[in-house]
Amino acid sequence: MRRTALLALGLGALLTAGSAAAEVQAADDSGFDVAGTQTIDSTAATVWAALVRPSTWWENAHTWSGKAANLSLDPRAGGCFCERLPRRGGVEHMRVIRAEPGKVLVMVGALGPLQSQPVQGVLTVQLETRGAATVLSWRYAVSGLREMKGGAIAAPVNGVISAQFASLGRTAMSRSAGAPRRR
């Protein structure tokens, strides 16, 4: 599949919050690199506060339990982006390796179906203040794929992550506007 087709697939799944762009930066048989940027009409502090509460913005369909309310994120080195499952079960989606409130969050791990692969994934989220808005940039780089091929899954992964961050943007903007939080 050509790079432009991969880009179109990834952007097709993007739900915007302010101005946004996302793309497959690279993909081969063993991995991929996807990234996106969006401008959110909210302060970095408000975006950060929403970011570290994925239960308020992550989409239910992209959880193992079917309920985003089961997600939690401990924004400190060694902290867990985790999910509670029925019968006292749980999932560690990612582990925090760097947290600078209002600026950067870096986590390692495999999201969704990538958990069945011997991969290393790094998700970096950066926040930059521009006037009254915040530019959120993210990058998810994955290596070590065996059964799955990076060229085949990069665009769908890009679409899902883009949609999650678009939801985060909408949540942060609604908090800035004083709207009630989604539960």
**132 domain residue, yes or no:** yes
Give me the pLDDT at residue 31, please.
97
Contact, 54 vs 125, CB < 8 A? Answer: no
Residue numbers of the domain that contains 169: 3-176
| pLDDT tens, residue by residue, 92-143 | 999 999 999 999 999 999 999 999 999 999 999 999 999 999 999 999 999 9
Residue 108 lies in a domain: yes
Please, are residues 99 and 75 in contact by the beta-carbon 8 Å criterion? yes
* Averaged pLDDT for residues 6-21: 42
Q: Determine contact, residues 171/143, Cβ cutoff 8 Å.
A: no
Q: Tell me the average pLDDT of the chain.
A: 87
List, as one string, the DSSP characters of 27-46: EETTEEEEEEEEEESS-HHH
Q: How many domains does the chain have?
A: 1
Largest CA-CA distance found in the chain, in angstroms, rounded: 47
More confident residue, 162 or 180: 162
pLDDT digits (tens, 9 = 90+) for 31-76: 999 999 999 999 999 999 999 999 999 999 999 999 999 999 999 9
**What is the distance between the alpha carbons of residues 71 and 100, in angstroms, rounded to a whole number?**
21
183 falls within a domain: no
Do 1 and 150 form a contact (C-beta atoms < 8 A)?
Answer: no
Instruction: Judge whether 44 lies within some domain.
Output: yes
